[in-house]
Amino acid sequence: MFPNLFTIPYTHITVYSYGMMLVIAFLSAISLIRRLSRDITPDPRMITNAALYALIAGVAGARLFYVFHYWDKFRDNLPSVFALWDGGLEQLGGLLALVAILLYLRYHKLPVRKYFDIIAVALMLALAIGRIGCFFSGCCFGKPADVPWAVHFPYASDAYYSQVYPDLNRNRPQPYINLPADFFGFNGKNGIYNSGLKPYDLLTDQQKNLVKSGQYRCLPVHPTQLYSSAAAASLSLLLYLLWRRNKKIALAKSGPKFLSAPGSCFALMFVLYGIGRFLIEFLRDDNPFEYGWWAIYKGGTISQNLAIYMFLFGLMLLVVFRRIAAGKNRS
């Protein structure tokens, strides 16, 4: 866990690893889209403009999704909804960026399905990079695990908080770590008593040893952020290979083949990402279980249920795009 990269000299401005990885992810995705769309883009600046609109919509959607997901944190402090500098973005909520791109492409009468195939490749690349930022910041953590590659997060990290408190939203009435009472309760900087976990600086030397290497150290967990990163990188490569194959088929003007219709890469992204996200959620330990009316999988996480909807949506798109291509071939 490495949430802070560095502080800019002579200032109090901290550069956060999560934010930096998001910037790298965004720039990488834009660079890839510009490169792959050279044959269909009348003006490269249009890609940059679309990306800026998508960035604004994506951040707004990711924040709204996070607020909806963790409404209890914001219920009594509505202005904190806008405190993006404190963290709190859900990558699934960033799908609103796709809506912004769709509207932009339609407005400029650009080939939507061809662009979305390229966007699918770039989006998975961006996700692979962004998930590394999740690992650095300690969010999206996994369940305690006894595997050689399991990782220990530090004291007072999100994973540690999860382990020393019960989590009724995940049907866990008892904490993983039975931390003694003297690790809780302290007076804050404003002099107001806080019953929560003590900051590391307020621990005694003995307590610090216990949480760093002793019996109260954070339990090792699955590095689910890296699992997600690897899955997204693999999916990006797979979609790229499919896109390149389909491009050759189109240039050769050969007959339709399996998953060769424009838009197939985009649709397949939803299908495969939905499967991967659904499975990885079994190893994560941060998202609450969902029993709402809209949940297909009662007792699964909200992300698992959204993954099911994404899978079904992707299958629907595959059928629709194939029929559109077949209709054009007949005409």
pLDDT at 81: 62
Same domain, 325 and 296: yes
pLDDT at 92: 60
Same domain, 116 and 26: yes
Number of helices (H) and strands (E) in the chain: give both, helices first.
9, 4
Same domain, 302 and 181: no
Same domain, 118 and 183: no
C-alpha separations of 287 from 89, 152, 228, 295, 298 in Å? 13, 19, 15, 14, 14
Same domain, 134 and 278: yes
**H/E element, 256:** none
pLDDT at 326: 80
- Single-letter code of the amino acid located at 331: S
Is residue 92 domain-resident? no
Is residue 303 domain-resident? yes
Provide the token pair at 136: 């650095």
pTM for the model stands at 0.89
pLDDT at 286: 92
Is residue 87 domain-resident? no
pLDDT at 9: 76
Mean pLDDT, range 215-230, rounded to an integer: 97
The total domain count for the chain is 2
Same domain, 293 and 318: yes
> Residues of 174-200 as b/e, b for ≥16 C-beta within 10 angstroms?
eebbebeeebeeeeeeeeeeeeebbee
Mean per-residue pLDDT over the chain, rounded? 88
Is residue 50 domain-resident? no
pLDDT at 240: 98
Residue-wise pLDDT tens digits, 173-215: 999 999 999 999 999 877 889 999 999 999 999 999 999 999 9
Is residue 152 domain-resident? no
In contact, 153 and 286? CB cutoff 8 Å: no
Q: Does 70 or 126 have the greater pLDDT score?
A: 126
Could you say which of 174, 189, 212 is where a domain stops? 212
pLDDT tops 90 at residue 142: yes
- Domain of 319 in residue numbering reads as 4-40+111-143+222-330
pLDDT bucket at 84, cuts 50 / 70 / 90: low
pLDDT at 97: 82
